[in-house]
Structure 1
Amino acid sequence: MPFRHRAVKLGAAIALATSALVTPSADASNPIVTSYYTADPAPLVVGNTLYIYAGRDEAAPGGNNFLMREWRVLSSTDAASWTDHGAKANIGTFKWAGADAWASEVEPRNGRYYWYTSVNGNGAGWMDIGVAVGDSPLGPFTDAKGGPLVSDSTPNSSGLNIDPTVFTDDDGQAYLYWGGYWGVRAAKLKPNMIELDGPVVTPTGLTDYWEAPWMFKRNGLYYMIYAANDTNGCVTSSSYACQRYATATSPLGPWRHRGVVLGQVSSTTNHAGVVQFNGQWYMVYHNANAPGGGNFRRSVAVDLLNFNADGTMQRVTQTTTGPPPNPGTGTGPGTNLAPSATRSTSFVSAWENLAAINNGGVPANSADRGNLAYGNWPERGTQWVEYTWPSSRSINKVATYWFDDGQGIDLPASCQVQYWNGTSYVPVPGQSGCGVAGNTFNTTTFTAVTTTRLRLSITSAPDHSTGVLEWQAFQA
């Protein structure tokens, strides 16, 4: 199942764009595209591809209002370089609508992809929520309903019906959250994904909610991020916004406010989504940092998101470089084979997790537990972690990110890469130095070996134990 995430009518002359020039970006950087302006990003992972659905800002330089007429799609296989697939829906997709292609999100269900949008209706209401549907993440998308899913006529609707976020729980029940002007709303969706299933409710506990909800689930806990514009630790001026977050033990709350996860950005609006891709969590948001950018000429950025051991979210560091490439488990030379391996160890502490070593995390530093941590306290001396594959693999390089908790687990004194030769474990041939530096990946190269089992033997410093945050093994 795919992972989640999270101003005038132009008339029928605007048609759905079903094809576009596909242009891969050359280098990883933030914003991720600067040839035009993008806003309100919504990430979605399907297979080995991360998609971002975003509105396009078209306001002229110096403009003081939003001009948004289409939604575009970008994709990446490593969360660092991006391919532009062009516009895949626009306000002409909804014949009943008027204008304003505002925030949207795509949710998969039963092999189809439902694109929930904020669009200006022709009726009395200012903004409505429409739904388009396609058979692939790139469409083509067509109107799924022929009218709004939510409008001002919906009982208990928001003061501004914008910013839909849809979350499907493990039991298959889908939930819709939306709303602006402090008016957050929620409702269940029917299995057809285009009708509400029961009353609209007003969630509680989303402290200082303003707009832009995004919902996801991690380790059995529900998370909601949202834009707030208070000056109580959020922003310096209420003209701007931050991203606060809350958690709950059920999809409809009640919610418990937990703090700020993304601070003030360079645009007045702050709209974000969260997604896990190749084992690493990411925050996708917009700012005004592209050349010529501004409050109505925004651009999408992507940065790493990490969690603390207790499940709280670490505040996102906004960068101009973006995240490092995270190719995951592809095929061919240079592919990281670790995520496809079965892991084992000589010993793991009861409070640590062996899953850390090949879950695809990108640690911020050696003390970062945001994507779990493996440690073998209180064992001393030599311990090991091991990968096993169901059939032989050709491997010529590993990279190790050591765990150092500043207490009983310290950087190792030494290490050695070994492989199973069919009879016993022996050192890999031509092994370069097995590095033990902190706060970085230590790369070890060697003459390619063909094996079903690879082992990292780790010898501790005196009176300490050892640990690993990530151990990568690369196909020759």
Structure 2
Amino acid sequence: MRRSWPAVLAAVVLTLTVVSPSSAVNPIITTRYTADPAALVVGNTLYVYTGHDEAPAGGTNFVMRDWQVLSTTDATNWTQHGARLSLGDFPWAGADAWAAEVEPRNGRYYWYVSINGNGPGWMNIGVAVGDSPLGPFTDAIGGPLISDSTPNSSGLNIDPTVFVDDDGQAYLYWGSFWGVRAVRLNPDMISMNGPVITPQGVTNFWEAPWLFKRNGVYYLAYAANDAGCVSSSSFACIRYATASNPLGPWTHRGVVLDQVSSTTNHPAIIEFNGQWYMVYHTADAPGGGNFRRSVAVDRLFFNADGTMQKVAQTRGGGGPPSGTNHARTATAATSFVSAWENLAAVNDGFVPANSADRTRPVYGNWPQQGTQWVEYRWTNPVSVSRSAAYWFDDNQGIDLPASCQVQYWTGSAYANVPNQSACGVAANTFNVTTFSPVSTTRLRLNITARSGFSTGMLEWMALN
């Protein structure tokens, strides 16, 4: 696990805080713009510390003056705690409340922040400290921990990530403009223990490092903007490397998150309630943009060898629609199912994390192409007015379909359902198709594949 702290502290903090809850979709909140997330688990609560974008619509520069906190106990419903630290809390600060991260140590919480100081140089890293995950926080040093005057500092001193190893040694990583830097910290967490080093083997590093440990292996995720992972150098993907030592040397492993809708990106990877998550930001909120970003959270999966699977980005929720799901009492049939797939997967009640989710059996019809069908059969007629399909995409021979059509059994033949809405083919969500109610003993979904591909489903609902 990345970080944890006794549950009692979280419980005490939450009882003293007036909060505003919201239910999760991606972005996880849309009442304000949030960016550059950092994640921290304290007891049974996941905290996400974010920057706060305040640029006007059409703005062409960052306007960031404080840092916000969000929390959840189920990774679905989020509580907004508002601004818990601002530029005004640092007397030496000039502007630019950029990326930050909180790390616990000795019963206190240290908030490492990127700030444009009033003195020489541009961006600095300061530290605030508090006695709970929600503060209050105060300036711990009275000046920057890292600045342009720090020997071997980065080309741009931003995006701090701090990790405390099992032996109690703390490490700080930061940097931008292709300049990743690292240093050991003293137990006080506000002074350096030794020289700043340039870690080796960090391929195509641009900015936004995130350091964590799993099963004895150290992982370093970071933003990269090379041609191998983005459409132009204005955008960023998230690459990662592994090492047997927290200071490297590092071995590049690949891309864990593709380019998103905003030009910048900033990863946080955390284990919470037995699941791993990627926390990042996009421009997907209403009115969003490159300077009006919003935090998103998606599941992350590891392979047996410890490498990370690429995260499937979800948008707009993806949760199952409400209503009576008659599929749970139906017998499924199909024109074709692959020998290694399972038709029973379509009505087992599973809610997938994304279209690539193979944590449970899936239905697929590879190598068949063209139009295939899946249908539900009932002994007695049921009334149905909606269909909801969650498509399977294995990034290989099975892809999202080109189109689909819902039909019902009239008693003597199949007919298209009346007044059908568009049959959606989007990834990472339940695609709901509505139609005038029909009473039938069979409901069929005709699925037409994209050229050269087969199709599959993770779940298919038949709703009243």
Q: TM-score, normalised by structure 1?
A: 0.65
Question: Counterpart amino acid of 2:230?
Answer: V
Cα distance, 1:265 vs structure 2: 0.4
How has the CA–CA distance of structure 1 residues 362 and 29 changed in structure 2, closer, same or farther, with 3 Å as cutoff?
closer
Query: Which amino acid in structure 2 is aligned with residue 278 of structure 1?
Result: N
Q: Does 1:311 align with 2:306?
A: yes
- Aligned equivalent of 1:22, options 19, 24, 49: 19
Match of 1:136 in 2: 132
Contact 2:48 2:71 in 1 (8 A): yes
Q: Does 1:284 align with 2:282?
A: no
2:52 counterpart residue number: 56
* 1:165-186 deviation per Cα after TM superposition (whole angstroms, max 9, x unaligned): 0001000000000000001000
Cα distance change of structure 1 residues 204 and 324 upon mapping to structure 2, 3 Å threshold: farther
Q: Which residue of 2 aligns with 1:301?
A: 296
Counterpart residue number, 1:415: none
Give the drift of 1:236: 1.0
Tell me the distance in 1 between the aligned counterparts of 2:210 and 2:63: 23
Residue 22 of structure 1: CA displacement? Answer: 1.1
Q: Secondary structure at the match of 1:265?
A: coil
Q: 1:323 Cα deviation (Å)? A: 8.3
Q: Indicate if the aligned counterparts of 2:34 and 2:293 stay in contact, CA closer than 8 A.
A: yes
**Counterpart amino acid of 1:219?**
N
User: In 2, distance between residues paired with 1:30 and 1:323?
Assistant: 9
Q: Name the structure 1 match of 2:358.
A: 365
Q: CA deviation at 1:21?
A: 5.1
CA shift at 1:270, angstroms?
Answer: 1.0
1:184/1:202 Cα in 2 relative to 1: closer, same or farther (>3 Å)? same
Contact 1:105 1:165 in 2 (8 A): yes
3-state secondary structure, aligned to 2:88: helix
Shift of 1:366: 3.8
Choose from 218, 222, 234 the match for 1:222.
218
- Provide the identity percentage: 71
- Equivalent pairs, count: 318
The 1:286–1:4 alpha-carbon spacing in structure 2 relative to 1, beyond 3 Å, is farther
Question: Are residues 324 and 143 of structure 1, via their aligned partners in 2, closer, same or farther at CA, if it must alter by over 3 Å?
Answer: farther
* Equivalence map 1:248-397=2 (5 Å): 248-321=243-316, 364-366=357-359
Indicate if the aligned counterparts of 1:79 and 1:323 stay in contact, CA closer than 8 A: no
1:302-360: CA deviations, max 9, x gaps? 000000000000000000155879xxxxxxxxxxxxxxxxxxxxxxxxxxxxxxxxxxx
SS at match of 1:244: strand
The corresponding residue for 2:235 is 240
C-alpha distance in structure 2 between counterparts of 1:236 and 1:57, whole Å:
24
Which residue does the alignment assign to 1:45?
A: 41
Secondary structure in 2 matching 1:102: strand
Partner SS, residue 304 of structure 1: strand
For residue 92 of structure 1, give the secondary structure of its aligned residue in structure 2: helix
Residue 91 of structure 1 corresponds to 87
Task: Render the CA deviation track for 1:412-452: whole Å, top value 9, x for unaligned.
Answer: xxxxxxxxxxxxxxxxxxxxxxxxxxxxxxxxxxxxxxxxx
In structure 1, how many angstroms separate the alpha carbons of the residues matched to 2:177 and 2:318?
33
3-state secondary structure, aligned to 1:107: strand
Give the root-mean-square deviation of aligned CA atoms: 2.0
**Given the alignment, which residue of 168, 185, 192 partners 1:189?**
185
Aligned to 1:36: 32
**Which residue identity is paired with 1:37?**
Y
Q: Does 1:3 align with 2:3?
A: yes
Does residue 66 (structure 1) correspond to residue 62 (structure 2)? The answer is yes
Amino acid at match of 2:307: T
Q: Cα distance 1:318–1:134, how it changes in 2: closer, same or farther (>3 A)?
A: same
Aligned partner letter, 2:54: E
Give the match for residue 123 of structure 2. Answer: 127
SS at the partner of 2:151?
Answer: coil
Check conservation: 1:306, 1:313, Cα contact below 8 A. yes
> Pick from 71, 78, 85: which aligns with 1:82?
78
Contact preservation (8 Å) 1:30, 1:321:
yes
Distance 1:64 1:362 in 2: 35
Instruction: Kindly indicate whether the alpha-carbon contact (under 8 Å) linking 2:267 and 2:280 is maintained by their aligned counterparts in 1.
Output: yes
The 2-side partners of 1:115 and 1:86 are apart by 16
Deviation at 1:28, TM superposition (A): 2.2
- Measure, in 2, the Cα distance between the counterparts of 1:362 and 1:136: 32
